[in-house]
A and B are shown apart, each in its own frame.
Chain A
Amino acid sequence: MMTRIGKLMVLICVFVLVGALTAPAAEDPIKIGIVSPVSGNYGDHGKLERMGMKAALEEFGSKVLGRPVELVVADSETNPDVAARRARRLIEVDGCKYLMGAVSSSVAAAISAVATENKVLYFATNGNSDTLNASKANTYMFHVAPSMAMLVRGGADYVAKNIGKKWFYITHDYSWGHSGTAWARASAKKLGVTEVGEIKVPLGTRDFSSQLLQARQSGADVLVVTMAGFDNVALLKQLAEYRIYDKMKVWYTLMEFVDMWPLKPEQRQAYANVEVYWNENDKTRAFAEMLQKNNPDTPCPMPLDNGTYEGWLAMKILLTGIQKAGTDDVDSVIKTIEGLEIKDNMRKYPTRVRAWDHQVITQIDLIKANPKATGPAMWDVIDEVDAATVARTKAENPINVSISK
């Protein structure tokens, strides 16, 4: 029996090897590895960001420096350990010099650790945590999505001046949620806003009846919400069911189009900070229409959501960087990207890449959902803020990860 197990081991090894040998070998094209959720809870978000990346690549004719560009997709499963393994595969087996993707901040931090170890350039596309360009910042990572500091401060001013000055917080009870509330609180202090209460909600909560009752009775004008994912979809529905909108305004520190789209029109009434809205101007409209035409299988109509835009932007920054550097050498590309400005980004304000914290800065929109709207034009943009005015300053975030420091 013993030798039979031994033989089986040898057989398995041979089987694995033969399977592996038939795999394609690495060669000439510039390879960009995308670690992005293909399956699971965030599969839709992953699909959107990959859609954006492909669109940007097509703008460059799928080529840079005369060499074809190949995208290699690996499923992150929204799990840092799996994502790190997939990132290592992209580097070790596929020979990718550039990585991109991640929907959550923990996945981004995990991939970033792998990228740094292998000296590979990584673009964190869709995690909003403040740590990504503070304690977790490093030379080999650019943070494309706005941090919570930018998002919250981008909307706080308008909300305090025009909507209400008594705030009640509902927060997802982990670091990301805490950071949203912390920034809102810091802004509130400056703007003369009073806090009337706070509820921290554990991850995985789907029934908000007691929390909403408490919020209703608090006498607040504004309910400040920092929640994400399926919990948030449940909360959005219950906000309407419990008639919270009759009592107070609701302001989301971050909202995804794809999360609010499944609601009935009359259930959509909140204010929210977003990174982009497809109906912002003619260019974004045209872009969203093009995306919809080219991708019949999208999670929402007019699929230009936060993730799509950040994916598009990351790819555009990378390809522009490679083109300007004239080489695909990672360190030279990082040097070129630091301080890069992109004007044709479809927005009111240009995109800038800060050298010292590797944060990409574009613009924050404050939107109001319109319950009377029909079709995908469910939001109205009420304020556009230049993200440079709300991003953390050097004094607030004393780090320097620039490659030429």
Chain B
Amino acid sequence: MRPKSITRDPYLYIFLAFALYPFYPFLGNFTSLGSELLLFFIFTLSFNLCLGYTALPSFGHGALYGMGTFGAALTFLHLTPGLGIGLSILIGGLTGMLGATAVGWLIRDKKGIYFAMMTVAFSQVMFGLCWRWDEVTGGESGLTGLSRTSFLGLDISGSVPYYYLCFGFFVVCAILIRIIARSSFGMTLQSIRQNPVRATYLGYNTGFYKFLVYALSGFFAGLAGALYCFLAGAAFADIFDWTKSGDVVIATLLGGGTASFYGPIVGSLIFLVCKELISAFWENWLLAYGLFFVLIILICPRGLLGLITDKDHTCGISKEKRES
């Protein structure tokens, strides 16, 4: 990247803003919210590879996140007790990928609503399994005692060190996801989104591409889930609840995931921070929250970033893409 393009890169500002997060007044005290935000960024960015880039309505994405959580938690408790959390996090990511691979292969050629229903069904199956299999998942009362000890020899028991661990993961994942999105693979995905029939006739195996992006997305979602279980110190079956999958869809659409690569980040920021701030001051916060969401969707149906990017659009292709 040329120096000039670095200063024009939104990532620079995002990374800077979050590198300093623990030093902000008031909100900086709430370090764990910062960590959760970063993990949610990874989650929504990975989700947007499916929804925004490939138009894959993966409405059960929470299942992949949850699989990461439980994969990491079970590894930590049974395979590597007392050791660091590094391996558990990696296995968490791979578990998410495994789930996505298994389901993705089965439903890679399903279209629209059918794909969405299958992913929702998958997350419900995972919820049922987790909620009932007391011996392994702890059932209703979940798995606890995930006290994060060290990561590659570094002590991360404090909330600020853990924040920076999450920050590190976020930076790496965010860059990787953007590389994927801008690679020729990513371009193919966009062509599938714009016209799947045409993409097929051009010789692309669209089902295989969908499968691949779903699996990749599953890896990042699982990674975020794995990091989350060490933030919470616990893992519960409720993570597979459809509301978790709903949250990520809402956050992505709110920010404008279909309009811009950075939509999910803006969306999750507003989604989580507003929720926490409003709920702290008003008991009936859900009302305000719901109205806010309706308003955003009415005013800018493509999400907040849609307001900006849509001005640059001609013939459905953004200026940015025409330039690059």
B232 & A79 in contact (Cβ 8 Å cutoff): no
In the bound assembly, the distance between CA atoms of A89 and B241 in angstroms comes to 23
A175 adjacent to B139 (CB under 8 Å): yes
Q: Is the CB of B280 within 8 A of A80?
A: no
Residues of B within 8 A of A131 (CB): 138, 141
A3 to B134 alpha-carbon distance, docked (Å) = 51
Closest beta carbon of chain B to A261's beta carbon, Å: 23
- B-side interface size class: 35 or more
A1-40: which residues lie under 8 A (CB-CB) from chain B? 1-10, 12-13, 16-17, 19-21, 23, 25, 38-39
| Complex interface: chain B residues within 8 A of A109 (CB) | 141-142, 144, 234, 236
Does residue A171 face the partner (Cβ distance < 8 Å to B)? no
A121 interfacial contact with B, CB 8 Å: no
Across-interface contacts of B277 in A (CB, < 8 A): 16, 19-20, 23
Is A279 in contact with chain B by the CB < 8 A criterion? Answer: no
Could you tell me if B241 and A79 are in contact, using CB atoms closer than 8 angstroms?
A: yes
Collect the chain B residues with CB atoms within 8 Å of residue A74's CB.
Answer: 279-280
Closest A residue to B36 by beta carbon equals: A85
Take A174-B131, A175-B140 as given contacts and tell me if A21 and B25 are in contact as well, using a CB distance cutoff of 8 Å: yes
Name the contact of B134 in the complex, choosing from A7, A104, A132, A175 (C-beta under 8 A): A175
Report whether A136 and B144 are in contact in the complex, using a CB–CB cutoff of 8 Å. yes
In whole angstroms, what is the CA distance A110 to B145 when docked? Answer: 10
Asked if B236 and A92 make an inter-chain contact with CB atoms under 8 angstroms apart, the answer reads no
Chain A, residues 158-176, CB within 8 Å of chain B (1/0): the string is 0000000000000001111
Q: Do B234 and A75 touch across chains, with their CB atoms under 8 A apart?
A: no
**Bound CA span A318–B297, Å:** 46
Contact B33 A178 (CB under 8 A): no
User: In the complex, what distance in Å separates the CA atom of A20 from the CA atom of B239?
Assistant: 28
State whether the Cβ of B79 lies closer than 8 Å to any Cβ in chain A: no
Q: Chain A's nearest CB lies how many Å from the CB of B13?
A: 4
The prevalent SS among residues of A at the interface is: helix
Name the residue in A17, A80, A116, A174 with the highest tally of chain B Cβ atoms < 10 Å from its Cβ.
A80
Chain A residues positioned under 8 Å from B138 (CB to CB): 131
Q: Is B176 an interface residue (CB 8 A)?
A: no
Considering the chains assembled together, what is the distance between the CA atoms of A23 and B279 in angstroms?
Answer: 13
Q: Is the CB of A114 within 8 A of B233?
A: yes
- B296-320: which residues lie under 8 A (CB-CB) from chain A? 305, 308-309, 312, 318-320
Stretch at the interface among B43-51, B201-209, B262-270: B262-270
Compute how far the CA of A13 lies from the CA of B265 in the bound complex, rounded to whole angstroms.
12
- In the assembled complex, which residues on chain A have CB atoms less than 8 Å from the CB atom of B279? 74-75, 86
B236 and A173 contact, CB distance less than 8 A: no
State whether A6 and B13 are in contact (beta carbons under 8 Å apart), knowing that A79-B241, A109-B236 are contacts in the complex.
yes
Residues of B near A106 (CB, < 8 A) are: 140-142, 236-238
Q: Once the chains are docked, how many angstroms separate the CA of A85 from the CA of B319?
A: 40
Is the beta-carbon distance between A129 and B141 smaller than 8 angstroms? yes
Interface residues of B in 1-28 (CB under 8 A from A): 8-10, 12-14, 17, 24-27
Chain B: CB-nearest residue to A2? B8
CB-based contact A1/B308 at 8 Å: yes
Closest chain B residue, CB of each to CB of A47 = B283
Is B139 a contact of A174 with CB atoms below 8 Å?
Answer: yes
Within 8 A of A (CB), among B230-268: 232-234, 236-239, 241, 243-244, 260, 262, 265-266
Instruction: Give a binary string over A74-110; 1 marks a CB under 8 Å from any B CB, 0 the rest.
Output: 1100011100111011001100000000001110011
**Nearest CB in chain A to that of B270: its residue:** A12
Whether a CB of chain B sits under 8 angstroms from the CB of A203 is yes
* Interchain CB contact (< 8 A) of B232 among A17, A73, A113: A113
A117 contacts B by Cβ under 8 Å: yes
- Establish whether residues B32 and A92, one from each chain, have CB atoms under 8 Å apart when the complex forms: yes
A21-B25, A113-B144 known; A8+B308 contact, CB < 8 A: yes
| Contact between A2 and B9, CB atoms less than 8 A apart | yes
User: Which residues B205-243 have CB closer than 8 A to chain A?
Assistant: 232-234, 236-239, 241, 243
Q: Bound state CA distance, A116 and B145, in angstroms?
A: 10
* Set of chain A residues within 8 Å of B159, measured between Cβ atoms: 92
Smallest CB gap from B244: residue in A: A81
Judge whether A112 is part of the interface by a CB distance below 8 angstroms: yes
Closest CB in chain A relative to B104 CB, distance in Å: 25
Contact A203 B131 (CB under 8 A): yes
A128 to chain B, nearest CB (A): 11
Interface positions of A from 208 to 231, Cβ below 8 Å from B: none
B13 touches A9 (CB 8 A): yes
In the bound complex, residues from chain B placing their C-beta under 8 Å from that of A113 are 144-146, 232-234
Cβ contact within 8 Å between A4 and B236:
no
A88 to B273, CA, bound (A): 14
Q: Residue B17 contacts which of A9, A93, A104, A110 (CB distance < 8 angstroms)?
A: A9
B114 located at the interface, meaning its Cβ lies under 8 Å from any Cβ of chain A in the complex: no
In contact, B260 and A5 (Cβ under 8 angstroms): yes
Complex: A173 Cα to B31 Cα, angstroms: 38
CA–CA, A162 and B146, complex, Å? 47
Closest to A114 in B: B233
Residues in chain B near residue A174, CB distance under 8 A: 131-132, 139-140
By a CB distance below 8 angstroms, the chain A residues around B308 are 1, 4-5, 8
B276 CB-CB contact with A under 8 Å: yes
For residue A57, give the distance in angstroms from its CB to the closest CB of chain B. Answer: 18
| A13-B19 Cα distance, complex, nearest whole Å | 13
Residues in B whose Cβ lies below 8 Å from that of A20: 24-27, 277
- Residues 40-89 (chain A) with a chain B CB within 8 angstroms: 73-75, 79-81, 84-86, 88-89
Q: Does A5 contact B140, Cβ atoms closer than 8 Å? A: no
Please indicate the chain B residues that have their CB under 8 angstroms from the CB of A89 in the complex.
30, 33, 276, 280
Closest to B263 in A: A5
Contacts A73-B283, A88-B32, A174-B139; is A9 near B10 (CB within 8 Å)? yes
Task: Determine the chain A residues whose CB is within 8 A of the CB of B144 once the complex forms.
Answer: 109, 112-113, 136
Q: List 22 A-B contacts (CB under 8 A).
A: A1-B318, A1-B319, A3-B8, A5-B266, A6-B8, A6-B9, A8-B308, A9-B13, A10-B13, A10-B17, A13-B17, A19-B277, A21-B26, A74-B279, A75-B283, A84-B234, A92-B29, A105-B140, A105-B141, A106-B141, A106-B237, A109-B144
- Contacts A17-B24, A92-B31 given; 13 further ones with Cβ under 8 A? A1-B319, A6-B9, A20-B25, A23-B280, A106-B141, A109-B142, A110-B234, A129-B140, A131-B141, A135-B141, A136-B144, A173-B132, A174-B131
Going nearest first, the 4 A-B pairs with the smallest beta carbon separation are A175-B139, A6-B13, A20-B26, A113-B234
